[in-house]
Structure 1
């Protein structure tokens, strides 16, 4: 897990060095980048299903997986760009989600 956060922090530094604006503007652009990546997941799903008659089967389910990874990584970079300790915040959030899921019990 350390390697992932090293990569996230490295990407954060790289992106920040190329966009010298206010914090809020950098956060906004990163949130928009996250939405762009989510759109690429949708495009890959449509392509994997062959649902676009003009493009046919233009993607595979592995393409969908790769795009989903891009979404996850972009979200972690957004978290890092927002400041504080992104790893702590993320792990705390995962613990809270897990606790809520455990309270609901097994799915029916």
Structure 2
């Protein structure tokens, strides 16, 4: 049986909900804040991949950056699914609008 990414997100949200001891509103806010943590880890990996910290040198590879970007995406989808059970439709509608808007600008130029 093939599992969709959204099925995985639903299972992760269910697992997080089951493990939470916080009120729903607090849990929602913390899942949104999780994005900030994950974006920071992307920045850390980029700095490490480019060796921009002279004290540390090269500490990461671009594969680490890719992994951290995936963590950002998963955290964002979990946060979105936490806000609405219709996360898939909300995301797909938004993506379609962004794509249409972006391609329209490209075709005008």
* TM-score, normalised relative to structure 1: 0.91
Structure-2 change in CA distance of 1:104 and 1:68 (3 Å): same
Listed as ranges, the gaps of 5+ residues in structure 1 are: none
Structure-2 change in CA distance of 1:46 and 1:106 (3 Å): farther
Q: Distance in 2 between matches of 1:3 and 1:55?
A: 40
Indicate the residue corresponding to 1:63 in structure 2: 64
Question: Aligned-pair distance for 1:19?
Answer: 1.5
Tell me how many residue pairs correspond in the alignment. 108
Cα RMSD (Å): 1.8
Indicate the residue corresponding to 2:48 in structure 1: 47
Indicate the residue corresponding to 2:32 in structure 1: 31
Question: Aligned-pair distance for 1:102?
Answer: 1.9
Q: 5 Å matches for 1:1-108?
A: 3-106=4-107
Q: Distance in 1 between matches of 2:108 and 2:67?
A: 28
Question: Aligned-pair distance for 1:27?
Answer: 1.4
Question: Aligned-pair distance for 1:23?
Answer: 2.7
Question: Aligned-pair distance for 1:21?
Answer: 2.6
Question: Aligned-pair distance for 1:106?
Answer: 4.7
Question: Aligned-pair distance for 1:66?
Answer: 0.5
Listed as ranges, the gaps of 5+ residues in structure 2 are: none
* TM-score, normalised relative to structure 2: 0.90
